[in-house]
Amino acid sequence: MTASDLANRGSRGEIVLKFFKKRDVKYDNLSAMERCSIYQVRIWPLMVVFLLVAVFGGACESGGGLIGPADETAEAGKIIEEANRDLTKIKVLYKENEGKRHELRAAVEAKNVEDVKRISGEVVKLINEGTNYGNDAINKIRDAREMKINRDYDEYLRLKEESLMKQLEAFTSYHAAARTLRDNYDPKDVKAYDKVKAEFDELTDKYRTLMEKARDNSSEANDLYKETLAKERN
């Protein structure tokens, strides 16, 4: 069978079909029209595949395509609202702790054993309570980050989580300082007093440093939030 025989048999679809069925037909003997028909049949499946990848691949990346995962940023926001309630409680306890911290420092300088032990015990209880709220908030932030949320919101939550972890680390340091005073403070024992006071001062300095880092992370998160809002408005 020649190429001209195929051309006389009908449409382009018939020509292509017979070309694939009859392997004795040589491609070089086909006309330009016949070659074009064969090219279209061969290339169209690939074009369709590339088109689907482009459409659905982009949809998946944006988080809201036809067959891509649904964006869960709004649902994640509800979890963060719960975490913020925990954070509000932590702020209240933090203010109380700051007041106690200054009282404790004054009592240590005055070598007032009764006040030192009383205040340091109160500080330990405050930090225990705040740590529980902090751990609950971190777990909620992590739950939200595991959802399908947009990248800016995920980065915002990452910074918030990092800030909160720094705060908890700072509280752990001051918790140890308060425990040291509560259990070991004795100004009559000069050697023991110097050791306890040095440890208290070291842990207090560490507390301040960690709190500064926590505030920096929190400020960075808030700046990102403001930038994101500005972009959405524009």
Residues 120-133: tens digit of each pLDDT:
999 999 999 999 99
Handedness of CA 94, 99, 102, 103 (dihedral sign): negative
Domains observed in the chain:
3-62 (no CATH), 73-233 (1.20.120)
Within its chain, how far is the Cα of 158 from the centroid? 4
pLDDT of residue 29: 55
**Ranges under pLDDT 70 in the chain:** 1-70, 232, 234
CB 158, CB 145: distance < 8 Å: yes
Dist CA 210 CA 171 (whole Å): 9
pLDDT of residue 63: 42
SS3 of 8, please? coil
CB 154, CB 187: distance < 8 Å: no
Give the angle 125-131-136 at the CA atoms, nearest 5°.
Answer: 135
CB 67, CB 56: distance < 8 Å: yes
pLDDT of residue 175: 92
CB 115, CB 107: distance < 8 Å: yes
Dist CA 139 CA 83 (whole Å): 9
pLDDT averaged over every residue in the chain = 76
Within its chain, how far is the Cα of 113 from the centroid? 46
pLDDT of residue 211: 86
Dist CA 97 CA 72 (whole Å): 37
Dist CA 175 CA 169 (whole Å): 10
pLDDT of residue 94: 85
Handedness of CA 182, 213, 106, 131 (dihedral sign): negative
For the entire predicted model, the pTM comes to: 0.63
Residue 27 gets which letter from DSSP? G
| Tokens 């403070």, located at residue | 185
